[in-house]
Copies of this chain bind each other. A is one copy, B any other.
Amino acid sequence: MSFYGDKIRISVFGESHGEAIGTVIEGLPAGFRIDMEKLGDFLKRRAPGGKYTTKRKEADEPKFISGLMDGVTTGAPLTALIYNTNTRSGDYAKLKEIPRPSHADYPAYVKFGGFNDIRGGGHFSARITAPLCIAGGILLQMLEEKGIHIGSHIYEIAGVPDEAFDPMLCDLEKLHAAGKKDFAVLDDDAGEKMKEKIASAALAGDSVGGIIECAILGLPAGLGDTLFSGLEGMIAQAVFAIPAVKGLEFGAGFAAARKMGSENNDPYAYIDGEVKTLSNNAGGILGGISTGMPIIFRAAFKPTPSIAKEQNSINLASKENVKLAITGRHDPCVAVRAAAIVEAVAAAAIAGLVL
């Protein structure tokens, strides 16, 4: 299922090599003029085409077929399509029988009895994140109008760390600095080292993983809910919807488990008459509710499972063990393009609380 949220609901559909992929967004406020150029810029951050990403190029121009009149939302469900124009299904023919390790092929085969569209990963393709970014890109614009800003950067690739966001982050320029670059890091030297790791992995027919760090600024204190409807859970449901995410942490996250309470606690203080915490190990969330401090989280992406190196697999038809070497076009590191996707789903997660 591809729905999310109570007030804002997003449905994402399509297969990698089908006719079109797209999204239906329900519950959008009426009367909002979408900045199409800005949306286009946002989608380009996710789009393939760069040196460190897959060679499959697509314009990925969204076509709006409902919910928008003269560029302004009508309040009715908004539907946007991206037609698939550059598909080479031949690459994937034999994968129907031979599941690619660490792809969804095998569990999908079991779940759908072999009827799922395997071409290019079908509905499980990372390409499905393009409509997610259309939805998220629109929501980001709406949130910005409310003073809420979301930014992200590559926190780490192949073990090479970028500098981290300051957990007390309050500078919009710093928040968006990485997003404006071709390679979304804060520290360009670190970025160069990451690129080397990616290039060398690609050369070896291999791939690498990475971590994206995301921050949400401007969310007032008191939003979210308790237990199963807490902010962490809402964001988690959205972030784990992104293919390849295997870990998520808020604020100090796993490192908090190694701290003393006296280190990890965020003391309160009045600063210029406003309630602030003097540190932000909580990542802006306590008890599932926003504290008014920046919301900070990190999502871990596994290395691209499609690698050229030969791997062990099975043939589901002949029930034999086989060898598999994957050809075709693939990102050697999905994290490179993932920053925009993480921002998109973060917007989806909090939109219902604010719009």
Interface residues of A (CB under 8 A from B): 1-4, 6-7, 9-15, 18-22, 24, 26-27, 30-31, 63-67, 69, 72-79, 81, 99, 101-104, 106-108, 110-117, 122-124, 128, 156, 158-159, 201, 206-211, 220-230, 232-234, 236-238, 240-241, 243, 245-254, 256-270, 273, 275, 277-278, 281-283, 285-292, 300-307, 309, 311-314, 316, 319-321, 335
Contacts and interface: CB of A to CB of B under 8 A. Distances in A.
Contacts of A232: 240, 245-246
Contacts of A9: 1, 3, 11
Quick one: which of A101, A114, A301, A305 has the most chain B CB within 10 A? A101
Contact of A283 (B30, B221, B246): B246
Contacts of A230: 240-241
Given A228-B238, A300-B257, A243 B112 contact: no
Contacts of A240: 230, 232-233, 236, 288
A287 B116 contact: no
A334 to B, nearest CB: 10
Contacts of A102: 261, 264-266, 281-282, 286
Given A103-B287, A116-B30, A2 B257 contact: no
A167 B63 CA distance: 45
B13 A66 contact: yes
B115 A305 contact: no
A122 B76 contact: yes
B237 A233 contact: yes
A223 B1 CA distance: 12
A158 B262 CA distance: 13
A309 B287 CA distance: 22
A77 B11 contact: yes
A125 to B, nearest CB: 10
A261 B200 CA distance: 13
Contact of A319 (B114, B116, B207, B270): B270
Contacts of A27: 1
B269 A226 contact: no
A96 to B, nearest CB: 11
Given A9-B3, A13-B67, A243-B287, A76 B117 contact: yes
B65 A14 contact: yes
A137 to B, nearest CB: 17
B256 A15 contact: no
B268 A2 contact: no
A265 to B, nearest CB: 4
B302 A256 contact: yes
Nearest to A304: B261
A261 B303 contact: yes
A107 B222 CA distance: 5
Quick one: which of A102, A261, A273, A302 has the most chain B CB within 10 A? A261
Given A2-B226, A249-B248, A19 B66 contact: yes
Nearest to A205: B262
A278 B316 CA distance: 16
Given A107-B287, A250-B246, A253-B246, A259 B2 contact: no
A69 B314 CA distance: 24
Contacts of A306: 261
Nearest to A278: B312
